[in-house]
Each structure stands twice: as C-alpha cells, then as structure tokens.
C-alpha cells in the first residue's frame, strides 16, 4: 500500500535558506488581492480599534504570528516556510492635522492604512504526499475579515476568524481543504481563545484520512458526455427556485468559475481531459480548486470545502447512481 505521507528531514545546510523561503511560489488566491510580507503587516499597517473605547482588535499580524506559534508546536521539527499573505480592501485615512491638505501634498507620516481582509498560508514542505503523479505539501492558514466585527462597538464584542489545515498541489498551488480541516468562522473575545481553538483543530486533523479520500478521486472518471451534463446542470443550478435547491447538495461556484472549469478542461497543462474526452475526478477537483483562486477572500475557504464536497458527490453518483442531481 502506498505511504500516505512522506517526511523529508531538514539538513543543517538547508536551514538558513528554508527560513527565508515564502510558502508557495504562486498565488493561492488572486482575486482583488495584493501580496505582503509579515514585516510589512506588522510595521506599516494600522491596527483597527473599537470606536466607542479605542481598544484595539486582534491585528492581522497577531493572527498570523499566533498561527505560526501553534504550528511550530504541533509540527515540531518540520520545515515551516514563511507565510504567503494576500490582502484586500485597503482602508486609508489621514491624521487630523492633515485634514485640509491635498492628497498629493500628504507626507508619509500623515497617512494611515490597514487592510480589511487577509488570507495567508504556511507551507510545511517536509510533509509531502503524491496523488496521481502530483506532489502535495501540507499547508496551514487563516482568513480574517474585519467586515464581520462590530468596529462601532466596545471591547468585548466578538472578533471573527477562520483557519484551516490541508494540502497544496505543487504544480499549481491549488489548495485542498475539507470539512475536517476547516474551522468555519469562529467568534472569540481574546487571542488566547483563538490560539486554543486553532490548537484543537490542528491537533485533531488527520492528514492520512484526507489523503485517502483524495486518492479515491483518481480511481473514477467522467466521460465527455457526463462532463457536459454536469456543466449544464451547474449553470442551471444558479437559477433554480429556493425550494428546489434545498434538496440538492449546494454548489457555491458561479458562472464565471464554471467557465474557468470548462476552459481548463480543454487547456490546462496538468489537469485537462484525456484524448477521448474523459477526465478523472482528481483532475476535475483541481479544475474547481483552480477556479476558486478567483474568489474573494470572504468566500475562498467556503468554496474550497465546497469544491471537495461537490466532487465527492459526483463520486458517489458514479458508484451508486441516484445520489447526485448534477449527473442525473
């Protein structure tokens, strides 16, 4: 039986270079985001405060540092690369003394900036696996959106975070996340509470279990006709009445992302169809996770999990017909 995980030891001469490497060489999310370093987030961005008492919220930098601390404990001895951080929705302001200045005349010290939303991942390249010829590395990450917090309130209001553990496909930086490795938005009142919840998730995550299910996807395939049927149903699904959607496994991908799936079915270098038009479910899954890169930060993780659940539903339909509306 194929080993589910491969642990690659750290050589002493590699340590210095590994400490400076950024997790994944390609963006894991692209839509409306920019890349930043942890140093920039810590030193150049303001920290949001509650409007009524001026108490600070947990900053994006603190969230990233807390995640790093926990994974260094949980995955002690493994290689952990520097975080890949993507930011969106900048919130800009100026100091009161610059109230009447023209924008082009503002000094740097008179400007302030923070980003409303952030997503980040830490890659752990010493924990590896292989599925259908594709190399994977373990990843851990999180998402923060201040839009969910009551900034107009006082300290003591809940702050909201999401975090996850899963795998990254090397060839494309697609992220593989499923329910057991994902903490849907949690509400906390302190950094200590956030750390405890992250520790619980990372301790309980079973990487071998996820890999087993991902490998099963490579054992089944869709014919070209079945793929076309599925695409047509995906487009119809968005327009179904609510009462009909209620009895169907949800699909969170919109038309533009389904278009990406269809385009890459023909053109993707790693996950396109076979010459006869068939495509195995592992490749289909990667077409969806690749399309998910165009999601906004807010919906990125939910769609990541939905991509697996959707393709798993297709797998069930192929094994036991009658389970998936998308192929019926």
pLDDT per position as a tens digit, 137-171: 999 999 999 999 988 888 878 999 999 999 999 99
Give the list of residues 6+ apart from residue 267 with CB closer than 8 angstroms, or none: none
- Cβ atoms of residues 202 and 166 within 8 Å: no
pLDDT value of residue 15: 43
Confidence of residue 100 (pLDDT cuts 50, 70, 90): confident
C-alpha 132/C-alpha 121 separation (Å) is 24
- pLDDT(25) > 70: no
Quick count: other Cβ atoms within 10 Å of Cβ 85? 24
Give 53-75 pLDDT, tens digit per residue: 888 999 999 999 999 999 999 99
C-alpha 57/C-alpha 105 separation (Å) is 31
C-alpha 176/C-alpha 166 separation (Å) is 6
Determine the average pLDDT of the residues in 312-321. Answer: 93
Tokens 């939905």 belong to residue = 306
H-helix segments, the chain: 15-20, 38-44, 60-74, 191-204, 207-217, 224-237, 242-245, 255-267, 281-291, 297-319
Tokens 């990233």 belong to residue = 64
| Average pLDDT of the residues of the chain | 90
Confidence of residue 87 (pLDDT cuts 50, 70, 90): very high
- pLDDT(186) > 80: yes
- Cβ atoms of residues 42 and 61 within 8 Å: yes
pTM, whole model, 2 decimals? 0.89
* 156 DSSP assignment: T
pLDDT value of residue 130: 96
pLDDT value of residue 11: 46
pLDDT value of residue 9: 47
Cβ-based burial of 124 (10 A; exposed 0-12, middle 13-18, buried ≥19): buried
E strands, 72-133, are 84-94, 111-131
- pLDDT(128) > 90: yes
């Amino acid at each position: 039986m194929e080993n589910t995980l491969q642990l690659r030891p750290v050589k002493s001469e590699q340590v210095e270079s590994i400490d400076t490497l950024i997790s994944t060489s390609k963006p894991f999310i692209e839509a409306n985001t920019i890349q930043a370093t942890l140093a920039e987030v810590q030193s150049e961005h303001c920290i949001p405060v509650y409007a009524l008492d001026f108490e600070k919220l947990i900053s994006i930098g603190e969230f990233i540092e807390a995640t790093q601390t926990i994974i260094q404990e949980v995955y002690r001895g493994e290689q952990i690369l520097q975080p890949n951080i993507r930011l969106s929705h900048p919130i800009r302001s100026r100091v009161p003394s610059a109230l009447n200045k023209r924008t082009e005349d503002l000094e740097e010290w008179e400007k302030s900036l923070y980003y409303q939303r952030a997503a980040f991942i830490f890659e752990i390249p010493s924990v590896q696996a292989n599925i259908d010829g594709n190399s994977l590395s373990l990843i851990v990450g999180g998402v923060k959106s201040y839009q969910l917090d009551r900034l107009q309130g006082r300290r003591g209001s809940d702050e909201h975070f999401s975090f996850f553990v899963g795998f990254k496909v090397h060839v494309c930086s697609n992220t593989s996340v499923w329910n057991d490795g994902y903490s849907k938005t949690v509400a906390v009142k302190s950094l200590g509470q956030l750390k405890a919840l992250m520790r619980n998730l990372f301790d309980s995550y079973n990487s071998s279990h996820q890999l087993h299910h991902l490998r099963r996807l490579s054992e089944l395939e869709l014919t070209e006709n079945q793929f076309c049927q599925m695409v047509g149903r995906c487009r119809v699904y968005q327009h179904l009445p609510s009462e009909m959607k209620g009895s169907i496994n949800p699909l969170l991908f919109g038309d533009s992302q389904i278009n990406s799936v269809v385009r890459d079915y023909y053109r993707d270098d790693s996950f396109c169809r076979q010459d006869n038009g068939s495509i195995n479910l592992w490749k289909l899954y990667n077409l969806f996770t690749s399309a998910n890169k165009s999601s906004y930060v807010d919906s990125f993780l939910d769609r990541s999990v939905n991509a697996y659940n959707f393709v798993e539903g297709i797998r069930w339909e192929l094994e036991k017909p009658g389970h998936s509306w998308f192929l019926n």
